[in-house]
Structure formats: C-alpha cells, structure tokens
C-alpha cells in the first residue's frame, strides 16, 4: 500500500509538471491554501499522540537539528573555495510565519477538540492535491534551456546541498531523531517543510511529521536570518545557496539575488528547481527502505 501511494505521488507530480510546461497555471493562494490545510491536518492528528510537553521538546530538538543541517551544509561549500562580490540583502519575510501559526493552531484544536477522522486517507488526498498544484508551478519555470546557463555553480550548490544533507542525517540520527531513515527523510526535505512534513507524517506518523515540518521550517527561517550576515564574508556562494535548499526557487530567491548579486539569480532558481524535483522522489523512497 505504501509503495502504491509512492507511485501515485510520482505519477501525479509528473503529470502536473507536463501541464505546467504547457502553460497551465494555478494561483499562489491555491497552493498556500492547500499547504495550510495539510499543516492543520498534521498538527490536529499529531495532538493525539504528542502531548503538550512533548511538543515543546520537539520544538527545541527541531531548532537544534535545523542549525546542524545549516552549519554542516554551509561548511561543505568551502570545498569549492569560490568568492563573490558582497551585496546588501533584504530583511526576513515575516509572512511565512503564517504556516507556523497554522501548525500551533491545529495542534491546540486537536488537543482540546477531538473528532473521529480517517487521517491517513485524508492526508493522502491532501498530499496528492498539493503535489499536483506545486508540480504545475514547477513546470511553469522548468525550461531545458535554462540549465545550459549557470550550470556549473548550480551543480556545485546542488552537490553541496546533497552532501550536507547526507552528512547531517548521520549527526541528527546519532543525537536526536531515529531511525536513520527518519533522519534522512527530515534532512532531505531541503527546507520544503510544507511537503516534507506531510510526507514524513504519512510514513512515520504525525509526531515525526511535526518534527520534519519544524526542522525544515526553521531551516528556511534561519536562511532569511543568517544569509545576510554570512554573505558579508564574500565567500562560499555555493554553500549559501545550498543552505536555502529547495526554497531558493521561490521564497528565498529574492534574498539570494540581493545578497549574491543578479548573476546568481539563475543559479538559485536552478538549485531550487532541481531540489524541488528531488524531494518528492527521494523522501518517499528513503522512507520505504
């Protein structure tokens, strides 16, 4: 049954990308609404298994895990020994905190108000809806010609993100989250908390899903906070972009464009697109091992 859903997920994603290439479109609010619905479902479900005191423990452990992933990923980037001209970057976009609010709201609703809901089936439907909407948006910007430009730096940043996620997974496994497949599934969310949280919840349960959401949420938020400061060093552009993970094609794209310069806008976009394509494929695969 698990593998069957995995193939459904990949098939829906592939169809949506093709539709996106043929100029089908979806409004941003539709994607955001699907994301909020998923977060509410996971957190409401999670309240059944995660007590209030445990939630705050998850919060702290997720905070630490996100910092570990960022530090390790950024450090890997120094292998390439590249520099760039420093540019002033923008401030944190606080609008993204709406997702954290949804997570907390769903948890407290589930803690105090209980309904009998087939969460596993509901989560599958919501996941397929989200992956369909996101797939169309990925298809809109997925242009083979774009990969002929800025391919070298983009390839290095992607390698850095993958290597950083791989190394961080073992550290997180030893220190915080087990089994190893869970720590890999969390680290290879690459900051895409709105998808990784639901995927991990599907395969490991709501508690693990909340942890995956929080780790990757903090990864994105730390990217907004740390990149402006780290960019002042004028070093390691691949490491900086890799830290942003899948978010560099959308939410943090403006941040990297301002911090690294316009020359890195395409690199950031390619990095985000490739990692966004990888997440829905690799996380379910790792989870089923």
Mean pLDDT by 10 residues, the chain (289 residues): 73 89 85 84 76 75 95 95 68 64 85 81 87 85 69 92 97 91 96 91 89 92 87 91 92 82 82 91 90
Spatial neighbors of 219 by CB under 8 A, at least 6 apart, are 66, 69, 70, 189, 190, 191, 193, 243, 245
User: Tokens 């950031």 appear where?
Assistant: 268
Q: Which two tokens stand for residue 172?
A: 């997180």
- CA 214, CA 200: separation in Å to the nearest integer? 12
DSSP assignment string, 42-63: HHHHHTTTS-HHHHHHHHHHHH
Q: 28: exposed, middle or buried (C-beta count within 10 Å: 0-12, 13-18, 19+)?
A: exposed
Q: Which domain holds residue 268?
A: 2-287
- CA 182, CA 176: separation in Å to the nearest integer? 10
The structural domain count of the chain equals 1
What pLDDT, on the 0 to 100 scale, is given for residue 70? 97
Cα–Cα distances in angstroms (integers) from residue 187 to residues 97, 101, 216, in the given order: 21, 23, 8
What pLDDT, on the 0 to 100 scale, is given for residue 94? 58
What pLDDT, on the 0 to 100 scale, is given for residue 184? 96
What pLDDT, on the 0 to 100 scale, is given for residue 53? 62
Among 174, 237, 212, residue whose Cα is nearest residue 43: 212
Q: In 10 A of CB 236, how many CB atoms?
A: 24
- CA 31, CA 201: separation in Å to the nearest integer? 19
Q: In 10 A of CB 258, how many CB atoms?
A: 18
User: Tokens 């070298």 appear where?
Assistant: 152
pTM listed for this prediction: 0.81
What pLDDT, on the 0 to 100 scale, is given for residue 216? 94
What pLDDT, on the 0 to 100 scale, is given for residue 171? 95
What pLDDT, on the 0 to 100 scale, is given for residue 262? 72
Q: Which two tokens stand for residue 34?
A: 């699907």
């Amino acid at each position: 049954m698990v593998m069957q859903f995995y193939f459904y997920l990949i098939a829906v994603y592939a169809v949506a990308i093709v539709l996106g290439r043929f100029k089908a479109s979806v409004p941003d609010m539709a994607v955001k609404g699907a994301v909020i619905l998923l977060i509410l479902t996971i957190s409401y479900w999670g309240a059944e298994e995660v007590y209030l005191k445990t939630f705050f423990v998850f919060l702290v452990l997720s905070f630490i895990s996100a910092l570990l992933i960022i530090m390790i990923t950024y450090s890997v980037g120094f292998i390439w020994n590249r520099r760039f001209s420093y540019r002033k970057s923008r401030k944190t976009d606080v609008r993204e905190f709406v997702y954290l609010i949804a997570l907390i709201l769903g948890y407290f609703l589930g803690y105090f108000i209980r309904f009998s809901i087939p969460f596993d089936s509901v989560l599958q439907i919501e996941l397929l809806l989200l992956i369909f909407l996101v797939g169309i948006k990925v298809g809109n910007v997925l242009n083979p010609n774009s990969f002929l430009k800025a391919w070298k730096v983009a390839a290095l940043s992607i390698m850095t993100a993958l290597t950083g996620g791989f190394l961080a997974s073992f550290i997180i496994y030893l220190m915080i989250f087990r089994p190893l497949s869970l720590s890999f599934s969390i680290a290879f969310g690459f900051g895409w908390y709105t998808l990784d949280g639901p995927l991990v919840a599907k395969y490991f349960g709501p508690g693990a899903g909340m942890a995956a959401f929080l780790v990757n949420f903090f990864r994105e938020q730390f990217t907004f906070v740390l990149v402006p400061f780290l960019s002042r060093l004028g070093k390691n552009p691949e490491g900086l972009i890799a830290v942003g993970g899948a978010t560099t094609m959308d939410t943090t794209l403006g941040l990297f464009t301002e911090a690294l310069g316009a020359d890195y806008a395409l690199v950031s976009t390619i990095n985000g697109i490739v990692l966004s394509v990888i997440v829905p494929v690799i996380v379910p695969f790792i989870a089923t091992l």
